[in-house]
Amino acid sequence: MPNLRFTEQPLSEWMSSGGKDSDIVISSRVRIARNLLHAPFPMLATSEQSEDVLRKLQDVLDDERIEDFGKIYPILLDDLEDLDKKVLVEKHLISPSLANESKSGAVFISENESLSIMVNEEDHLRIQCLYPGFQVQEAWERATSVDDIFEDHVDYAFDDNRGFLTSCPTNVGTGLRASVMMHLPALVLTGQINRILSAVSQVGLTVRGIYGEGSEAMGNLFQISNQITLGQSEDEIIENLYSVVLQIIDHEKTARETLLTESHLRMVDRVMRSYGILSHAAIMESKEAAQRLSDVRLGVDLGLIDTLSPQVLNELNVMTQPGFLQKIFSENMSPGERDMYRAKLIRDKVNVNNGKEN
C-alpha cells in the first residue's frame, strides 16, 4: 500500500509557518526540469525505458545527503487511486500531467511536503521546492542543492550551447521555473490588475492560475513566474522575479490602503457579507467559495476579522477542492452534492473558529 498520509491532511506542514509578506505572497516555488542522457524523453519512451529511469532516480534516495531534507517517501502513481492523485494535484505536490498521462510515473515527497520530486512527467526529473510567503531565493537554494545530489549519480542531457535539454522548448536552458502565488484582491477591486499584469508580461514573466498553465486565476490568486529559461542565468531569473514581485507587493499594499481610506464602509460591508455567507450558506460552488474566501482573507489581513487565521483559510482553499471534498466525505459526488458538502465544510470550519456549534 502506498503511503497516503499526504492525501489525508489538507494543510502541508510547510504552510503552517508564516513567511515574508505572507499577507500577499501565499507561497514561493522553484521547479527544476532535467532529463537523463541516453534515455528517450518520457513522451517517446517505452514502459521498460521509463521503468529503468525510475529505478535509477529512486536509487539516488539512498544518498545520505538526502537525509538533510527530511525523510523522503517514494510513491508510485500506478499504486494510487484516481482520487488520491487528484488530491496531490490540489495540494500542488504533483502536476496534472503526472497524474493523468505518465508512464511509470512517481513522486518522492518529503515529510513536511516542502520538497516533491516528480519522475517521468513531461521530463524525467522535476525537482520542486515550496516555501511559505515570499522566499523564492530560499526555495531556489534548496532546489539546486537537491539537483546537485542527483547530478552526482546520473548524467543529464546537456548541450554546451543550449544548456539543459527538456521535452518542451520553453524549458530549455536552465530548466528553471520560479514562481510565487500572490493574493491580489485590492488590485482587482481598484481596477489596476490588468495594467499590472500587462507590465509583468513585458519583462519576461507570465501569469497563470493556481494550478499553472491553462488554469483559471480564482479567488484573486495569481501565479507569477519566469517565462524565459534560455539566455539568462539562474541567478538572473530569480533576481528578475524577486524585483518584480517586490513592486507588485507595494502596489497591492497601496491599493489596500486606498480601499480602507476611501471606501472603508464598502470594504467592511463586502468582507462581512462574505463572512456571513460562508458562515450560513447551504450551497456553495467552488468559484464562489474561492471569491468569498478571498474577501475574508483580505478582511483578516486588514484587521477587520480577528476570529480566523490565515492557516485556516489556507486549509479551506484545499479542502473545498473537488478531490479533497470527496476524500473527506469518502464518497463520489455529483457537482450539486459537492456544492452542498462544500458549504457544510466551510460552515463547520468557520463556526468552530468562532466558538459556535453548527
Is 111 labelled a binding residue? no
Cell 463520489, residue located: 332
Is 210 labelled a binding residue? yes
Task: Report the chain's terminal Cα–Cα distance, integer Å.
Answer: 36
Q: How far apart are alpha carbons 117 and 254 in whole angstroms?
A: 38
Query: Residue 237 class from Cβ within 10 Å (0-12 exposed, 13-18 middle, 19+ buried)?
Result: buried
Query: Which CA distances in Å does 101 have to 36, 43, 97?
Result: 19, 9, 6
Q: How far apart are alpha carbons 134 and 243 in whole angstroms?
A: 11
Cα 117–chain centre separation: 14
Query: Which CA distances in Å does 17 have to 73, 157, 353?
Result: 22, 37, 19
Is 28 labelled a binding residue? yes
Is 30 labelled a binding residue? yes
What length does the chain have?
A: 358
Is 126 labelled a binding residue? yes
Q: What DSSP state is assigned to residue 263?
A: S
Up-side HSE of residue 275: CA atoms within 13 Å toward CB? 19
Is 156 labelled a binding residue? no
Is 55 labelled a binding residue? no
Beta bridge partners of 138: none
Is 347 labelled a binding residue? no
Is 217 labelled a binding residue? no
Which amino acid makes up residue 203? V
Is 186 labelled a binding residue? no
Is 263 labelled a binding residue? no
Q: How far apart are alpha carbons 48 and 92 in whole angstroms?
A: 28
Cell 521535452, residue located: 167
Is 280 labelled a binding residue? no
Is 26 labelled a binding residue? no
Is 92 labelled a binding residue? yes
Is 65 labelled a binding residue? no
Is 334 labelled a binding residue? no
Contact call for residues 142 and 60 (beta carbons, < 8 A)? no
Q: Which residue in 141, 109, 156, 124 sits closest to 14, CA to CA?
A: 109
* Binding-site sequence positions for ATP: 27-31, 92, 126, 177-181, 208-213
The annotation places the binding site at: 27-31, 92, 126, 177-181, 208-213
